[in-house]
């Protein structure tokens, strides 16, 4: 059996020389295959002329001011919300006349409140989103006529509009009630999950096109690696027993194939990561804490056949990209048989998948380039919106009709005016819910020393549990009148206060604000 496997790898290695189906420069390839059938036609659709989008002009505090405070938001994998906004501002589908719009877009940057390690804190997102919706519903009539059914929002959090990075917490919270009728554009996609509502558009995470372009290697480089993976197999800090993280799928990969010569797998993230993917036949794309990962984008761009290990995953633009033809699905329970599954695929099937992956249309659909290009991810989103038109007449409400509950959810997530509208008899249980939320925010662990250099870590989206510091858990209800310095010294002591202030300096946050936040954190701890 082992000899046969090596013969198989040798055949593929030789095929890499002959057919040159390795890394291709974005936009061109000598050996490609057109995507056949309806998928290929949909992928190449042009949305211009099929829909008109009105972009709300919001105060800068909802978008541009947040980005100015932390430009790192432009490079992390959640950046699609920023670039979608920029694209729409100059897109030919934009209309300045809301009366002729098919869709309405609200530019809120909900993933741009970052930790020192560049990962988004989700705690402000619900309140920011509620505030923005309250603003547009008060200043324009269009939200109120459908309660958002003709509006779309980009929500690229780990679990979309559930706004939490831990699945059990996300499920408990559910989708923000005010977004129940809107169309959500999100990276999270999993069938039969409370955080994916019907009608959502699943998109790829942001991957930097220019950066990947600089790592391209010669087209004729052979694919001498059979199976490739770099990332976590266990998350010991947050899942000590090893059964919850990735539902055990990654642990099974390591335990079964760490010594298998066909598998080039490791936790190390080399500087040649992109180059290595271009030398591999198969690239593992397993779930982590969430089912999606930037690896999927990277695999498609670099022509490495994605091996998708995430049961019930909904892949990006599934109605346009023929994932069954370009990838390999492996059930999580079948991971121990991964070597048999992959070596059983006939070489001609592998070569056809590689030819399809080399199609420029396939690659372009996975990217959010600047400037935008025909067929890219921006256009795929618009195509998805266009296919939903015309809106059914039932989405338009009768005068005075209300469906959504504007005060549903934790009180701390409501704009202050709505907090005051809460009924008195609900204040006591609501206070308990608030305290539970505050305790939840304080559960996050300090950043592990060995995880500090994770800018290019393919697992950064699935390892937030060990990377979010309690100091970064901001409180929107700051008491601006409190004098913090003297009280802080009494509450924390000199040494602890110095460490906290160093953490603040490392985060490049405003010094005075951070002192206030530390004081609030201490008060919340005492109250809880």
Q: Are residues 258 and 332 in the same domain?
A: yes
Give the pLDDT confidence of 122-131 residue by residue, as tens digits: 889 999 999 9
pLDDT at 480 over 70: no
- How much is the pLDDT for 496? 59
- Whether residue 455 is contained in a domain is answered as yes
Q: How far apart are CA 251 and CA 133, in angstroms?
A: 42
Q: How far apart are CA 164 and CA 160, in angstroms?
A: 8
- Whether residue 130 is contained in a domain is answered as yes
Q: How far apart are CA 327 and CA 313, in angstroms?
A: 13
Q: Whole-model pTM?
A: 0.75
CB-based contacts of 216, cutoff 8 Å, min separation 6: 23, 24, 25, 26, 278
- Whether residue 402 is contained in a domain is answered as no
pLDDT at 239 over 70: yes
User: How crowded is residue 337: how many other Cβ atoms within 10 Å of its Cβ?
Assistant: 13
- Give, in order, the Cα–Cα distances in Å from 362 to each of 297, 356, 452: 10, 8, 34
Give the pLDDT confidence of 300-313 residue by residue, as tens digits: 999 999 999 999 99
Closest by CA to 355, choosing from 303, 396, 279, is 303
395-419 exposure pattern, b = at least 16 Cβ within 10 A, e = fewer: eeeeeeeeeeebbebebbbbbeeee
- How much is the pLDDT for 518? 46
Which of 7-16, 252-261, 493-502 bottoms out in mean pLDDT, i.e. has the lowest?
7-16
pLDDT at 280 over 80: yes
Q: How far apart are CA 485 and CA 117, in angstroms?
A: 26
- Whether residue 69 is contained in a domain is answered as yes
Q: Are residues 218 and 237 in the same domain?
A: yes
**CATH number for the domain that contains residue 216:** 3.40.50
- Give, in order, the Cα–Cα distances in Å from 13 to each of 127, 223, 347, 384, 445: 54, 6, 11, 39, 45
- Whether residue 434 is contained in a domain is answered as no
Q: Are residues 190 and 259 in the same domain?
A: no
- Give, in order, the Cα–Cα distances in Å from 2 to each of 6, 156, 224, 467: 6, 43, 17, 41
Task: Work out the percent of the chain whose per-residue pLDDT is above 70.
Answer: 70
**Domains: count for the chain:** 3
- How much is the pLDDT for 35? 58
- Whether residue 105 is contained in a domain is answered as yes
Task: Work out the percent of the chain whose per-residue pLDDT is above 90.
Answer: 60
How far is C-alpha 94 from the geometric centre of its chain's CA atoms?
25
- Whether residue 320 is contained in a domain is answered as yes
Residue of 401 and 418 predicted with greater confidence: 401
């Amino acid at each position: 059996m082992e000899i046969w496997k090596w013969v198989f790898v040798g055949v593929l290695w030789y095929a890499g020389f002959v057919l040159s189906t390795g890394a291709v420069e974005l936009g061109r390839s000598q050996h490609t295959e057109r995507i056949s059938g309806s998928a290929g036609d949909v992928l190449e659709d042009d949305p211009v002329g099929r829909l008109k989008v009105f972009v709300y002009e919001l105060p800068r505090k909802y978008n541009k001011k947040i980005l100015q405070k932390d430009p790192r938001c432009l490079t992390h994998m959640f950046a699609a919300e920023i670039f979608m906004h920029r694209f729409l501002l100059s897109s030919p589908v934009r209309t300045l006349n809301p009366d002729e719009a098919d869709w309405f877009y609200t530019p809120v940057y909900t993933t741009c409140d970052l930790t020192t390690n560049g990962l988004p804190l989700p705690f402000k997102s619900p309140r920011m989103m509620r505030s923005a919706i309250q603003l547009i519903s008060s200043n324009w009539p269009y939200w109120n006529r459908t309660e958002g059914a003709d509006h779309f929002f980009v929500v690229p959090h780990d679990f979309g509009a559930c706004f939490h990075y831990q699945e059990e917490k996300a499920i408990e919270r559910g989708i923000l009630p005010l977004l129940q009728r809107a169309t959500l554009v999100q990276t999270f996609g999993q069938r039969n999950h409370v955080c994916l509502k019907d009608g959502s558009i699943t998109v790829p995470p942001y991957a930097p096109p220019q950066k990947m372009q600089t790592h391209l290697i010669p087209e004729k480089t052979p694919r001498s690696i059979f199976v490739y993976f770099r990332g976590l197999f266990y998350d010991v800090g947050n899942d000590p027993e090893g059964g919850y993280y990735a539902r055990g799928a990654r642990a099974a990969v390591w335990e079964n194939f760490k010594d298998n010569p066909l598998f080039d797998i490791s936790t190390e993230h080399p500087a040649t990561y992109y180059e290595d993917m271009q030398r591999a036949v198969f690239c593992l794309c397993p779930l982590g804490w969430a089912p999606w990962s930037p690896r999927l984008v990277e695999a498609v761009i670099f022509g490495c056949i994605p091996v998708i290990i995430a049961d019930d995953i909904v892949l990006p633009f599934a109605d346009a990209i023929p994932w069954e033809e370009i990838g390999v699905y492996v059930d999580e329970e079948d991971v121990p048989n991964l070597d048999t599954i992959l070596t059983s695929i006939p070489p001609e099937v592998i070569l056809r998948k590689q030819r399809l992956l080399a199609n420029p249309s396939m690659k372009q659909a996975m990217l959010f380039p600047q400037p935008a290009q025909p067929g890219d991810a921006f256009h795929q989103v618009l195509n998805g919106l266009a296919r939903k038109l015309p809106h059914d007449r039932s989405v338009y409400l009768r005068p005075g009709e209300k469906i959504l509950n504007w005060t549903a959810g934790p009180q701390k997530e409501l704009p202050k005016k709505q907090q005051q509208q809460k009924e008195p008899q609900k204040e006591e249980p609501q206070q308990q819910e608030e305290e539970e939320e505050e305790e939840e925010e304080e559960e996050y662990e300090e950043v592990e020393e060995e995880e500090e250099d994770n800018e290019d870590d393919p697992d950064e989206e699935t390892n937030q549990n060990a990377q979010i510091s309690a100091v970064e858990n901001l409180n929107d209800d700051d008491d601006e009148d409190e004098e913090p310095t003297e009280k802080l010294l009494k509450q924390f002591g000199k040494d602890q206060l110095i460490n906290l202030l160093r953490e603040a300096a490392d985060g490049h946050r405003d010094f005075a604000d951070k002192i206030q936040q530390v004081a609030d954190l201490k008060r919340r701890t005492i109250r809880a």
